[in-house]
Every structure is written in C-alpha cells, then in structure tokens.
Structure 1
Amino acid sequence: MENEIKEMLGLILNKLDGLEFRIDKLESGMDRLESRMDRLESRMERLEARQDEIYLVVKAIEHNNQVHRAEIDSLKLRESQIEGTINAIGEVITKRKVI
C-alpha cells in the first residue's frame, strides 16, 4: 500500500510539474503579448500625433483657400470698377469726337 501511495504521489507530482511548465509557457506568452501591445500603443500614439498634424495642415490650407478666394473676389470687383471707369471715359471721348 505504501508503494501505491508513492506511485500516486509521483503521478500527482508529474502532473503538477506538467501544469507548472504549461503555466510558465502561458506566462511567457502573456509577456510577449504585453510587449507587442505596448509597441502597438506606441505606434497608435505616433499615428494620432501625425493625424493631428495633418488635420492642422488641412485647416491651414482651407484657410488659405478662403483668403485666396476673398482676394480674387476683391480683384474682380476692382476690375469691374476699372472697366466701368474706362467705359465712361470712352463714352466721353466718343461724345467729344462727335462735337
């Protein structure tokens, strides 16, 4: 009976050793997974920073386009005023020629 108990305890110890090995393997895998997650988080932070920079550039370009449109509108208005003045001068000259 003592031998049977020793055998059973030996089997239990072997099973526990196997479980301990498997737990160590799982912990190692978890450590690698945590390391990969840390790297991914770092990459995500860099991507978010780049996205913020791109957003600011796009907003600056949009503002520049609005300013450019306003300047073009101003030039069109000035052109119309000059064209009106030239037409008025042309009419005066034409009237003077007739006289």
Structure 2
Amino acid sequence: MDNETKKMFEMLMKKLDAMEARQDEIFSVVKAIEHSNTTHKAEIDNITYKVAHTEGTINKIGNVIIENRAIK
C-alpha cells in the first residue's frame, strides 16, 4: 500500500471513530429523553389519580350535605 493511500485510510478510520463516538453520545441523549418522558408520564398519571380521588371525595361530601338538607 503506497503512503498516500495509507494516509487516506488512516484519515477515514479517524472519521469513522469520531462518528461512532457521536452516535454513542446521541444514543445516550435519546435514552435520557426517553427516561425523562417516562418519569413525566408517571407524574402526570399520579396527579390525574389524585385529582380524580379528590373530586370523588368532594362529590361524596356534597351528596351528604344535600341529603342532610333534604332530611331536615
């Protein structure tokens, strides 16, 4: 292999190594975003549950008040 071809091959290998490192970085970022989205979804589900539970409690108290007024 002549010297010029060898230098071009080495340069190409360095660029491929750099691309592989960038792919690893991008993969790590994507995994972090995926984890963040999963966590965010769980937090929203928890808030939704708490709101529904609170709404049920308020409706139950409201019905008891209405029934007490009807009894009087």
- Output the TM-score relative to the length of structure 1: 0.68
Match of 1:55 among 14, 27, 47: 27
**Post-superposition offset of 1:93:** 1.4
TM-score (norm 2): 0.91
CA RMSD of aligned residues (A): 1.1
Q: Which residue of 1 aligns with 2:13?
A: 41
Residue segments in structure 2 that go unaligned for 5+ positions in a row: none
Q: Percent identity?
A: 42
Distance 2:8 2:24 in 1: 24
Q: Does 1:72 align with 2:44?
A: yes
Which protein shows a greater Rg? 1
State how 1:7-46 maps to structure 2 within 5 Å: 30-46=2-18
Deviations 1:4-34 (A, max 9, x none): xxxxxxxxxxxxxxxxxxxxxxx7xx21111
1:93 to 38, 48, 65: 65
Q: Which runs of 4+ in 1 moved over 4 A?
A: none
